[in-house]
Amino acid sequence: MSGGAREIARRIATGERTAAAEVDATLARIRAHDGEINSFVALTEARARRQAQAVDAQRAAGAALPPLAGVPFAVKNLFDVAGLATLAGGKVNESAAPAAADAPLVRRLEAAGAVLVGTLNMDEHAYGFTTENTHYGVTRNPHDPARIAGGSSGGSAAAVAAGLVPLTLGSDTNGSIRVPASLCGIFGLKPTYGRLPRNGSFPFVYSLDHLGPFAANAADLALAYDLMQGPEPADAACAQRACEPAAAALDDALTGARVGVLGGYFDAYAGAQARRSVAAAADILDARATVELPGAEQARAAAFIITAAEGGALHRQRLVTHYDAYEPYSRDRLLAGALVPAAWVQQAQRVRRRFLEQALALFSQFDLLIAPATPVAAPLIGTEVLHLNGQDLPARASLGMLTQPISCIGLPVAVAPLWQGRGDTAHLPLGVQLIAAPWREDLCLAAARALERAGLAHPRQP
């Protein structure tokens, strides 16, 4: 890749490189190298070339170029892309009519000059943390192809980590941006629930779904986030949100911030590498206090129930008629979710509200909290059991055990990639979650930037 998003845009704006040449190089790179990791499901080649030609024509005419002019990007294949069926990782969706229009976030990035080059692999219907998709193949970790990339936005993270594209979009319901960002060693942002519009994407759990970006550096991540902000009447959760730019304050938003480390549950389910990542980040961010967030384990259980119930209800009818077309890893869970009693869901929502109140109380004492993003570095493909601190845990569900409590209450989180592995994980990243109060994405992103400037958080070339 010829640079990060802002560097690519600079070269195109100054005439050092044409947008057409950038697209040619990107498509060639994907064809040459994606076979090793399987991050892409479809390429939008003709569309990308048209968009690149339009950027080059703008520059030739002397027009001012938008901030991401000519920058290639790709999206998880649950985003609507005009002319393509929205697969959401599912074979059952292959016969769906092509999307009539692009998702709002796709339109907003293209309005900023970015060029869509394709759609990306994922766990079917976003129900998983590994992107071991039996329909479209496993997405492999660019740092070790024998290992998973994480999920459910595994293709989105792997494509950036492999240097195929500088920006991608994904979704996060229970950790699906943060888990693959951690395991692939790149930056990711799960915004506050309701910050970015979700219409034009295939839903999973409406009350928990978030959409957000991945990038190879904190400044690109913040810029993409800023360019996608703004109210969207078609998404009730995002209908009234004003823009609150974060990129301009990356280097000073954290000044004077009170930073703490989440202990208790978040330490008990952290492996040795995860603990080293947190300790290293805490040192740079001057986090001297370790605090507990009561109720995290109960919040995770509540997230499981809400996820099962809403996901099961969404797919119930098609599971009856197309059961065999569904992913073996998720179809039984979806069926079970359709049978969850309403009383359980009501109780889960009460637990969720109480946990949010406890978190907001903690934010009266701290501005930012640090926690591991995943309990361990990327497991081998096919791993069924995680051996963690003397416990044997189901691998696929447990990769999200540190992210689920946070997304359950919609807090903004940035993931920064750290490299604290030892021995057989020395080549593998494991990121930290940088968690703030609702609507304070600026603090999350500024903390990621601080770790990057200190030389601690950065991607590595696979």
Catalytic residues: 76, 152, 176
- Per the CB < 8 A criterion, the answer to whether 125 and 327 are in contact is yes
- Per the CB < 8 A criterion, the answer to whether 161 and 184 are in contact is yes
For 1-70, give the DSSP string: --S-HHHHHHHHHHTSS-HHHHHHHHHHHHHHHHHHH--EEEE-HHHHHHHHHHHHHHHHTTPPPPTTTT
Residues in the chain, overall count: 462
Residue 64 is which amino acid? A
> Token pair of 210, please?
């978030």
The four Cα atoms 277, 171, 322, 42 give a dihedral, to 10 degrees, of -100
How far apart (Å, rounded) are the C-alpha atoms in residues 158 and 155? 5
How far apart (Å, rounded) are the C-alpha atoms in residues 278 and 299? 22
Residue among 128, 196, 189, 125 at smallest CA distance from 160:
189
Residue among 429, 368, 386, 438 at smallest CA distance from 179:
429
For 396-447, give the DSSP string: HHHTTTTTHHHHHTT--EEEE------GGGTT----EEEEESTT-HHHHHHH
Q: Are strands 115-120 and 40-43 parallel, antiparallel or unpaired?
A: antiparallel
SS3 content of the chain, % helix, strand, coil (to 5): 40, 15, 45
Neighbours of 282 (CB within 10 A): 18
